[in-house]
Amino acid sequence: MNSIQLVVFDIAGTTVHDGDSVLRAFQESLAGADIVVPVARINAVMGLPKKIAVRQLLAEMGRSADNALVDRLHADFVARMKRHYAERSDIREIPGASAAFAELRRRGIKVALDTGFSRDIVDILLRRLDWRVPETIDAVVCSDEVARGRPHPDMILRLMTMLDIGDPRRIAKVGDTTSDLEEGASAGCGINIAVLTGAATREELATRPHTHIVASVAEVMPLLLEDR
């Protein structure tokens, strides 16, 4: 395997503990349209671009997913997430995240974030954590900045262009959802790591392409450096 040049981390559930912010925002937004969705179904769409997640949940509950309703529910979800990330006291990094960023960059490995959230949500969260480009990380790409979000490879492909990475086999993807793993596989990443700090179980993650499954981001460093 070629030495890793770039590590692409997911945000919520992988590098950031946000309690049940995403789950609660989905539940509250859907409840506004008299839609009750089982928690397991919401967990299953974690990691997807959020407008696509809303559309998928509506279809699964037998509701017409017309554009006007999807747009309204998504706008409500975004507003709730922005409030959660600005106001909740339990928003914090998952232990080991920023230490991993710093150590990777010290060793000359670039660090990026990608996410199913839109940029307006992510900017609030990054300010809250004091994670900055280029001081803390090298780049961030959000799902509304590419043509297709996860499980498609578009966010990773954009990061490759931004950070001048030519070979996807020299990229590691780290995430907590099945869509993270599908994204890493579709981009051709050489290392595809699942962490167990999000909503997905080990059994669910094991059904998707992966090279490793570990407890948390604190355990990924040896895997990323083993071939250097």
Query: pLDDT tens digits, residue range 110-163?
Result: 999 999 999 999 999 999 999 999 999 999 999 999 999 999 999 999 999 999
Instruction: Give the C-alpha separation, 121 to 108, whole Å.
Output: 29
User: What would the CATH number be for the domain defined by 21-87?
Assistant: 1.10.150.240
Q: 121, 132, 136, 50: which is closest to 86 by C-alpha?
A: 121
Tens-digit pLDDT profile for residues 166-197: 999 999 999 999 999 999 999 999 999 999 99
pLDDT in the model for residue 225? 79
pLDDT for the residue 224: 86
Q: Is residue 198 within 8 Å of 44, Cβ to Cβ?
A: no
Compute the residue count for the chain. Answer: 228
Domain ranges for the chain, please list them. 6-18+91-225, 21-87
User: Can you give the pLDDT at residue 1?
Assistant: 43
DSSP output for 16-61 = EE-TTHHHHHHHHHHHTTT----HHHHHHTTTS-HHHHHHHHHHHT
Mean pLDDT value of segment 31-59: 92
Question: Hey, what are 28's tokens?
Answer: 């509250």
pTM recorded for the entire structure: 0.93
Pick the CATH number of 6-18+91-225 from 3.40.50.2300, 3.20.20.140, 3.30.9.10, 3.40.50.1000: 3.40.50.1000
Answer whether 6-18+91-225 and 21-87 agree in fold: no
pLDDT over 70 (residue 2) = no
